[in-house]
Structure 1
Amino acid sequence: MSNRRIKIIFRRVRDANLNYRLIENGDRIAVALSGGKDSFAMLYFLDLLKQHTPLLFDIVPVYVDLGWDNDIETLVEFCQSLDLELITEKTNIGRVVFQTRQEKNPCALCSNLRRGALNRVAKRHNCNKLALGHHLDDVVHTLFMSILYESRFNVFKPSTYLSRMDITMIRPLIYVEERDIRLFIESMGLNPVKNRCPADGLTKRQEVAELFDRMEEMHPGARQRIVSSLENLGPDCFWQPQPRPR
């Protein structure tokens, strides 16, 4: 990937941060790392944001081990290359989801349990924010999954305060397209952690993603315009960007 492409992704991360005030001075941010391409990119560009903006904040990389014995050596080395130490939290979430509960929709329960574990680790390490690696494609896919399978209009927010945990979830990659993340990972020669989860790649989300790949071929820029539409819904929409400080 050229420096120009990295600058484009960085600008989108910076713009999302400016529009939604995701990161502020004094924040201590737990960065949720799954070992996938999205979390690699999120950590890299948050580190760039720290280096190249006046913002003063701390980064705490966190990996929740779901019990699949994934090889995370690449992830450990990547954190070390950024002078960061990876915190690993071992859990039995995989066994609970697939053996104890035998869930028909394992991804939903797994996501909730993993999020809970991330929140606990973040609080244990005195973090006030938790960064998740959802990108622009995830925004669109989540919206249309809620419409197609739940008959409701639902999409996650760029920033969400969890009063029960007293922690704020942020999504720094909401303006970044998945294809740009993929190109970034390839250009850096990074090898995402191979996920041994039995449900990996066999989800409704993957079906919706493939549907939008076809739509993007027919209507280039469709995902970007859908996200822009969310922001144009009006002042009562929770996606409404905030006024930037003068």
Structure 2
Amino acid sequence: MQQQKLLSLIRQAIEDYNMIEEGDKIAVGVSGGKDSLALLHAMKILNRFYPKKFELYAITCNVGFEGMDFTGVRKFCESINVPYEQVDTEIAKIVFEDNKDERPCSLCAKLRKGAMYKRLGELGINKIAYAHNKDDFIETALMSLIYEGRFYAFPPVTYLPEAGVTVIRPMMYAPEKGVANFVINQGIKVVKNTCPVDGSTKREYAKQLMEQINRENPGTKDRIMHAVVNGRFEDWPEVHRN
């Protein structure tokens, strides 16, 4: 995917759901993976010309997995002149040693977000941008059907009053393969995920299943995404299209 195309898709999502307001302080949640680094890079470019002026930051939650090194993320942020914050925690120990939870991903995500939101509040940052792409929305809808018996996907914009933070998802229209190509074309180096359950989660199962369905029924992904966007879910904001 070319840079202009990714920027166009991100800007469309931002404007469709009014994700950015004048004077916002926005932190991109950076895991070190391809999606979050692509979003950070694109948001930096957007920051130069977007009519509503906003401040851009990057934040990483280090959950404490052995071998995780975010030095490359810090250097990347320095190279594009984005302030970077790393929140160090012992979440890995809590999840895999203390609690031995049968659903480690859910608990890890909850604790990780809590740690980041606390730090964002201390820094006076009012929004965090997550790098969920189009495939993430589709797979979430599929997981919701399989495991919860309902049709749903996380909203493009969510205000969390208890944290005083608004979550935005500007990459919701960008397909995962396009994002991966963008990262390769830009020469962006990703951080290896050392989580012991990476690649064996319910989300990974949904991803593989969706790929199979789409191969056998071309266009299924686009049709599901269309259904998601038009699903009129209770906590989704209205679309602001011209």
Note whether the superposition's TM-score is higher than 0.5: yes
Residue of structure 1 in register with 2:189 after alignment: 191
- Measured in 2, the distance between the counterparts of 1:223 and 1:43 equals 25
Q: What does residue 16 of structure 2 align with?
A: 19
Contact 1:231 1:240 in 2 (8 A): no
Q: Percent identity?
A: 34
Matches within 5 A, 1:97-112: 97-112=95-110
Q: Distance in 2 between matches of 1:45 and 1:58?
A: 14
The CA distance in 2 between the partners of 1:226 and 1:189, in whole Å, is 32
Give per-residue Cα distances to partners, 1:47-91, cap 9 Å, x unaligned.
121113212001110011101141212211111111113111100
Change (3 A) 1:7 1:221: farther
1:180 corresponds to which residue? 178
Q: Which runs of 5+ in 1 are unaligned?
A: none
CA–CA distance in structure 2, aligned partners of residues 57 and 222 of structure 1: 36
**Letter paired with 2:93:** R
Equivalent in the alignment of 1:9: 6
Query: In the aligned structure 2, how far is the partner of 1:227 from the partner of 1:102?
Result: 35
Counterpart-to-counterpart distance in 1, 2:194 and 2:110: 19
Using the alignment, how far apart are the partners of 2:218 and 2:45 within structure 1? 29
Deviation at 1:229, TM superposition (A): 1.8
**Alpha-carbon distance change, 153 to 56 in structure 1, aligned in 2, over 3 angstroms:** same
Q: Is the 8 A contact 1:230 1:239 kept in 2?
A: no
- Paired with 1:232 and 1:167, the residues of 2 have a C-alpha distance of 26
Which residue matches 2:137?
Answer: 139
CA contact (8 A) 1:136 1:224 kept: no
Output the aligned Cα RMSD: 1.7
Determine if the alignment matches structure 1 residue 45 to structure 2 residue 22: no
Give the partner amino acid of 1:170: I
Structure 1 pair 47–153 and aligned structure 2 pair: CA distance change class (3 A): same
- CA change 1:164–1:59 in 2 (3 A) is same
Give, in angstroms, the shift of residue 97 of structure 1. 0.3
Structure 1 runs (4+) deviating above 6 angstroms are none
**Normalising by the residue count of structure 2, what TM-score does the alignment of the two structures yield?**
0.94
Equivalent position of 2:71 in the other structure: 73
Do the aligned partners of residues 237 and 200 (structure 1) sit closer, same or farther apart at CA in structure 2, a change above 3 Å counting? closer
**1:90–1:236 CA distance, 2 compared to 1 (3 A):** closer
Amino acid at match of 1:221: G
Q: Secondary structure at the match of 1:88?
A: strand
Letter in 1 for 2:6: I
Deviations 1:96-117 (A, max 9, x none): 0000010111001101111111
- CA displacement at 1:20 relative to structure 2: 0.2
User: How far apart are 1:146 and its partner, in Å?
Assistant: 1.3
Does 2:12 correspond to 1:28? no
CA distance in 1, matches of 2:115, 2:233: 34
* TM superposition shift of 1:234: 5.0
* Corresponding pairs, count: 241
CA distance in 1, matches of 2:4, 2:217: 25
TM-score, structure 1 length as denominator? 0.92
Give 1:230 deviation, angstroms.
2.4
